[in-house]
Chain A
Amino acid sequence: MALLYPIPFERSGYVYYETVGFLVLLNAMLGIGWNVIGGWAGQFDFGPNIFFAIGAYTAALLFIHLGWTAWLGLLGAVVVSVVICAALTYPITRLRGHYFAIATVAMWMIAQPIGATWELINGSRGLFIPVAAGNGFVHGMLTMEFAGRGKGLGFYYLALLLFAATLLGARVVERSKWGFYFRAVRDDQEGAEGIGIDSRLCKVVARCLMAAVFAAGGVLYGFWALAVFPDQVLEVNWNVLPMMAVVVGGLGRLWGPVLGAVILIPISQLMTATLGAGPLAGRGIDLIIYGAVIMLIAGGRPNGLLSLPWARWAARLRGRGPAQPAGG
Chain B
Amino acid sequence: MTLFLQAVADGLQMGLLYALVAVGLAIIWGLMEMINFAHGEFMMLGMFGAWGLSVSLGWDPLISMVPLAVIMYGAGVLVYRLLMRRVQRGEIFTQIFATVGLLFFVQNGVVALFTSDYRFIEGSLLTRLSGANLTLGDIRIGVPLLVGGLIALAVFLALYLLIDRTDFGLALQATSEDRDAAMLVGIRPERMYAVAWGLGTALVAVAGVILANFFAVYPQAGLSFTVLAYAIVALGGFGSILGTLMAALLVGVVQSVTAAYLAPAFKDAFVFASYILIGLFRPQGLFGRF
Partner of A99, one of B93, B265, B285: B285
Contact among B94, B111, B280 for A302, CB-based, below 8 A: B94
Could you tell me if B94 and A303 are in contact, using CB atoms closer than 8 angstroms?
Answer: yes
CA distance A25 to B106 in the complex (A): 29
Binds B, one of A51-59, A163-171, A280-288: A280-288
* A159 within 8 Å of B (CB atoms): no
Q: Please, which residue of chain B has its CB at the minimum distance from the CB of A102?
A: B234
Closest CB of chain B to A8's CB: distance in Å?
32
Bits for A83-105, please: 1 = Cβ < 8 Å to B, else 0: 00000000110111011001101
Chain B residues 204-255 with CB under 8 Å of chain A are: 227, 230-231, 234, 238
Determine if A298 is an interface residue (Cβ-Cβ < 8 Å): yes
Contacting pair A292 B227 (CB below 8 A): no
Q: Out of B102, B103, B268, which one reaches A113, CB within 8 Å?
A: B268
CB pair A295–B98 under 8 Å, yes or no, is yes
Shortest CB distance B3–A (Å): 22
Number of interface residues of A (CB under 8 A): 49
Question: In the complex, A260→B87 CA distance in Å?
Answer: 17
**Interface residues in B, total, Cβ within 8 A:** 48
The answer for the CA separation of A109 and B227 in the assembled complex, in Å, is 9
Does A114 sit at the interface, judged by CB under 8 A?
A: yes
Which residues 104-162 in B have Cβ within 8 Å of A in the complex? Answer: 104-109, 111-112, 115
Q: Mark A226-267, 1 if CB is under 8 A from B, else 0.
A: 000000000000001001101110010000000000000000
Beyond A112-B268, A113-B265, 11 additional contacts (C-beta under 8 Å) are: A91-B280, A98-B29, A105-B231, A243-B97, A284-B107, A288-B105, A294-B98, A298-B90, A299-B82, A303-B94, A304-B94
Q: List 30 A-B contacts (CB under 8 A).
A: A92-B280, A94-B279, A95-B279, A95-B283, A99-B285, A105-B230, A105-B231, A107-B272, A107-B276, A109-B268, A112-B268, A113-B268, A114-B269, A243-B93, A280-B112, A282-B115, A284-B109, A284-B111, A284-B112, A291-B100, A291-B104, A293-B101, A294-B100, A295-B98, A298-B87, A299-B87, A302-B86, A302-B89, A303-B89, A304-B94
